[in-house]
Amino acid sequence: MPLCLACYGDRVAVLLETATRLCFYRSGEGAPWRQVDLPGPAQRVGLAPLLEALRAESGCVLVCGGLACCSREALDGAGVRVAAWMGGAADEVAAAWWTGGLQRYRLPGCGRKMRRCCRASKQKETGAMPANIIAITSEGPELTDMVDPRFGRAAGFVIVDLTSGKTSYVDNGGSQTMAQGAGIQAAENVARAGAGAVLSGFVGPKAFTALAAAGIAVVQNVENMTVAAAVEKYRKGEFAEADAPNAQAGGNKG
């Protein structure tokens, strides 16, 4: 049975909607025997090119990262078997598939939808949201920098591990220069950082869908404060998870 990995570069795309290449593997082979470059990410060109490439390999299993419900429905309707919520170097993930070790490559937060009721119960009891690693849109790399109210075109993301207290910074400059798809690319950056929640001011519909597909909670209307202040409010449970975007497409405030 052939295997197809939806990739971004040489890694499984954290979101199917951001995949730009399909890598096909045969049993026992450590490198793809065939690669298909898509005309663009699925969020822009749709799933038709991906489905066409998959139809050329009868019975092929698609391994991908997170994906929106509408994408999953389209794949199911086309009879494509999907192993979702996987991430990592493509060759390593393919090798793990053949040896039965694929579970080691499951993405963080992949069970978020299944745990939604449990999370709501926990939040009600403790007043705290459960994500241990959070990403805050920031104008700079320090906790003393101001929260950037933009998501897709934020200068970057301060990543905070609430358990250890460690912080890191993910530059988002590449997304700032994109004519379109900045929110999707930013969501990819956040997902690769392992964040379970994003704190920002305004999140558009495509970015919101991408974050939801990756199992990342979204906290909106966070602005006019430092990153440190936003983190402290999150710790205290003073923020509520959003259930819909609060900005228009293209990054305009709603």
Identify the pLDDT of residue 126. 40
Identify the pLDDT of residue 6. 96
Number of domains in the chain: 2
Check whether residue 127 and residue 215 sit in a common domain.
yes
% of residues, the chain, pLDDT over 90: 46
**Secondary structure of residue 184 in the 3-state scheme:** helix
For residue 133, give its domain range.
116-235
Identify the pLDDT of residue 29. 79
Check whether residue 149 and residue 67 sit in a common domain.
no
Burial of 73: CB neighbours in 10 Å, binned 0-12, 13-18, 19+: exposed
Check whether residue 135 and residue 76 sit in a common domain.
no
Identify the pLDDT of residue 199. 97
Give yes or no for a contact between 184 and 206, defined as CB atoms under 8 angstroms apart.
yes
Q: Do the domain assignments include residue 246? A: no
Q: Which residues of the chain have pLDDT under 50?
A: 111-128, 254
Confidence (pTM): 0.65
